[in-house]
Amino acid sequence: MRKESFDFLEKYLNTHSPTGFEKDGQKVWLDYIRPYIDEYFVDTYGTVVGVVNPEAPYKVVIEAHADEISWFVNYITKEGYLYLRRNGGSDALIAPSKRVIIHTAKGPVRAVFGWPAIHVRKVEQDKAPTVETIFLDCGASSAKEVEEMGIHVGSVVTFEDELMTLNEKYLVGRALDNRVGGFMVAEVARKLKEEGKTLPFGLYIVNAVQEEIGLRGAEMIAHKIQPDVAIITDVTHDTQSPMYEKKTSGDIHCGKGPVITYGPAVQNNLRDLIIGAAQEADIPFQRAAATRATGTDTDAFAYSNAGVASALISLPLKYMHTTVETVHEADVQHVIDLIYESLLRIEDGHDFRYFK
């Protein structure tokens, strides 16, 4: 990965962008893609769209989501401890002893998820942490002191962890789900620009908000753009580490390439175009099967408007919704290359219908 790209990825991943509060990360993303687009727009809730060939009637979307799981302050005790509720799929099990940032109008406030010491617990009676039992300690000794720090019910909380590398080939951190997707679609835009490719359609590079609470940003922006085609990228579970059941979760490996999904929301002809692009360009790929839905923004685009030909290219990831989400750098590059090669094979007015 070139240094400028890694520097962007690091800055973007380390910028906190909780669901509903994605503004800071979206600004970082937009600043990076500006040289590679003709224009951009931002919708009411913060989804950012970079556009190439904005006058073209046929519209193709490449999309990722920008938000990360987080917490809301829900209750403040008289002693100054904070109880929370989820904002997205935050995991109470991993919280004890983690460091966090509480985002306030006065600026960031650091805090920790406290937990009683093993010495004072009856370990044989231990139960897994739950949202009802975990709590934050921000160093205050009263509710009044908490208030003076700028913290109130509704203050949003994110984990503090930042990007690191493992064994010179894995990227590790919080919010890889799915800001690494935003990085990848931005790199596609850069590659198209720097290699002088002229597309016969309008390309809409979308970084959507609020996926973690139900694909909401994608729902809104799909209706605004009204695209003809949408290629979505998100993360999916690597199933090689302990505690995965391959019979139900599939056999997906970090390091073996992008994952192409089969399922009702995936338009078969578009999916086959992507598979053909991978085969022709010698890009390794894996396959996965969805059930009723993919659980990604693919579903929001596919069923929007009068129906949009949509497909999903996923990045294998270990330890989803933890602070050590892990992806293989080679897979990241292969997803970029696969989206790029797929775009080069879409024609102006491409008709993906199964029959006429």
Strands 202-208 and 59-65, by their bridges, are: parallel
Pick from 236, 246, 185: nearest CA to 63: 185
The reply, when asked if residue 212 is annotated as ligand binding, is yes
> 83 CB contacts (<8 Å, ≥6 apart)?
73, 74, 75, 76, 77, 132, 134, 135, 136
> 42: burial class by Cβ within 10 Å (0-12, 13-18, 19+)?
middle
Q: Is 211 a catalytic residue?
A: yes
Which residues have CB under 8 Å from 231's CB, separation 6+?
A: 60, 61, 62, 63, 270, 274, 310, 311, 312, 313, 339, 342, 343
| Separation of alpha carbons 109 and 156, rounded Å | 11
Residue 115 three-state SS = coil
Amino acid identity for residue 127 in this structure: K
Please indicate if the annotation marks 223 as binding a ligand. no
Q: CB-based burial of residue 282 (10 Å sphere; 0-12 exposed, 13-18 middle, 19+ buried)?
A: exposed
Residue type, 260: I
Structure tokens belonging to residue 353: 């219908």
Among 235, 178, 162, 184, CA closest to 210: 178
77 vs 81: CA distance, rounded Å: 5
Does 234 appear as a known binding residue?
yes
From the candidates 68, 211, 219, 341, give the one annotated as an active-site residue: 211
Structure tokens at 181: 């997707």
Residues forming the active site:
211
Residue positions in the annotated binding site for Zn(2+)?
65, 177, 212, 234, 321
- Which parts are annotated binding residues? 65, 177, 212, 234, 321
